Structure 1
Amino acid sequence: MTSKSAWSGRVQAAVLVSIAGAALLTGCDTAGQALPEATTTPPSTTQAAGIPVVLTAQTADGTPPTPETMSAARQIILWRAEGMRLPGTTVTIKDDTLVVTVPDDDGTEARRLAQTGELTVRPVLTAVPPTGSGPAAPDATAAKITRQSSDPAVQQQAIAELDCGAVDPLRGADDPAQPLVTCAADGAEVLLLGPSVLGNRAISGARAHLDPRSNRHVVEVTFTPEGADVFEALTIENMNRRIAFVVDTAVVSAPMIVSPTLAGVTQIVGNFTAESAEELANSLRFGDLPVPFTER
C-alpha cells in the first residue's frame, strides 16, 4: 500500500489509454522473499464440503517437480485463499499433483486459486480480429512451436489459425524470452507480441480499491526501483504504440501509451468488479506459481 508521503512525492503519473475497454495491468513479485507459513482460517460450521480439484504440475522439461517446488506452490495457493477470504481451503500434495478443496465450492474458486499468475509485459507487433476455428495444439510443447516462433511466415499462420474460443494449451507455460501469438482475455483480438521486457519481479506490491474519482474498481501496483526504471523507459520508447500486459498467456490489456510513466506507481484500470479486482491484486501480490498446473 502506498503511503501518503509517497503519493505526495510522486512525479507525473502515466496516462495510459486502454484499447477497446481492456484493463491496464502490471504484476507483483515475491521472488527472493521468504513466505511465512501458509494457513487458512477454519471454515464456518455451516459450510458444506467443496468439490476437490486435482491439478498436475507441468515442468518445462517434463521431469517430475521437486518436493520444494510442490511445497512452494501449495503455500502460495493457501496464501491466495487467505487473501480471497476462502476459509477452510485445503491443499494436499501427492507426488506431482495438488488437490485443492474450497468449502461450498463447485471447483470454480479452487481453479482460480491455482492459476499460474505469471505476468509479462510485451510490445504489441500486430493485432487483428480472431478468425481461426481450427483444432488447438495437443499440448504446450506443440503450441510453442507455432505460436512462439520467430519465423514471420509461421507467426502469420498461427495468427490465422488461433481459435480464441478454445481452451489454451499454452496457458501459463509460454516462454517470456520468445515472441508470442495469443488472444485477448475477452477473445476480441489475436495479437502478435514481442519478447517480454518486464515480469512479476518488476512489482513490489498490489492492492484493489474503488477509485473515488471514477467510481471504478482498480488495482494499484507499485514497482520495485529497478522495475520503475524499466517501465519508464518502456513507456518513453513506445509512445503512441501499444504494449500488452499478459497474465498466464492471455492479454489482459493492450493500452496505447500517450504519456510516459515517471513514477513508480500506476493503476490497473478496467471493467472490474470488486471481486475480480481483488482476485487480480491477490494473485499478483503473492506472486506466480513456480510451475503451471493442469486439471486432471
Structure 2
Amino acid sequence: MKKMISLEIKRALFNKKMLISLIVGMLISGHQIWLYLHTNDVGNMKQMVGYFEEQAMDAPDYLWSAWIGESGMLFNGFLFFLILPLLAAFPHGNSYMLDEKNGYLKSVFTRTKKKNYYFAKWIATFFSGGLAVIIPLILNFLFFMTLFPIIGPYPETAHAGITDISTLSHLFYSTPFLYVGLFFIIIFIFAGIYATLSLIVTFFTDYSFIIFSFPFLIILFGTMILDLADLSFLSPQEFLYPFQAKISLPLLVLEMCSFLILSLFSYLHFGMRGTD
C-alpha cells in the first residue's frame, strides 16, 4: 500500500499539468502583487510605519490586508478563489481515465489489490489539488511578509475588513499567524476535495474537459442555489476566500468532513463496482 501511494504521489506531483496549475496560480498571485505595488505608495507606507514605531505608537498593519487572501480591493483575489476548483483538478483529476485508456490499469491490477490502487489514487489526487492551490497563496503571503513589518493587526484600522461576524475573527486579532495557518489548511483540504471530485466523474465520461470542470461547475451551481436561499455563506466559493468568510467554525468543519467522506467513499464505491 505504501509503495502504491508513493508511486501515485510522484505521478501526481511531477507532471506537466501540475506545473501548469502552479504557473497559472502564481501568475494570478504575482499580478496581485504587481497591482498592489503600483496602486499603493509602498515607500510612503514604510515611512509611516517607521514613524509610528519611533513614536511608540501602533503602526499601520498593512501586512494583513495586503496579501491575496485578504485583499478585497483587487480583482485577483476574487479570480484566484473563483477558479480554485480548476487549479486543483487539473494536475491529476483525469488520471484514472488515462490509466484506463492506456492500459496502465490492467498492469497495476496484476501487481497490487484494486483497493490499494484506488485508495492511493485518491490520496495522490487529493494532495496534488491541495498543493497546486496552496503554494501560490503561501508564496504571496511570504512576499508581503518581506515587504511590511509584522505588526498588528488592530481592529481600529479595519484594514483587512475582518469584523466580529467573520470566520475565526477572534484568532485574526489575537494570533494572526494561527488564523492564516488555519485558513491555509482549510483551503488545502477543500482544494484536495475538489480534485478528488473529478475522479468520480471519470467513471461516467472520457472527456477531460468535463472531468476538469466538474468541481468548478458543481460549486458554482451550488453557490447560485445557496445565494437564492440567502445562504451563500455556506458555499466554499464564499468562505474559502478569507476576506469574505462568514461561516461558523462548526458548520465549516461539518461541511468539510461531509465532502471528504462523500468524495472518498463515492470514488471507492464506483471504482470497486466498476472493476468487479
Q: Which has the higher helix share?
A: 2
Q: What TM-score does the superposition give when structure 2 sets the normalisation length?
A: 0.24
TM-score by length of 1: 0.23
Between Structure 1 and Structure 2, the one with more strand by share is 1
Bigger relative contact order (CA 8 A; separation at least 6): 1
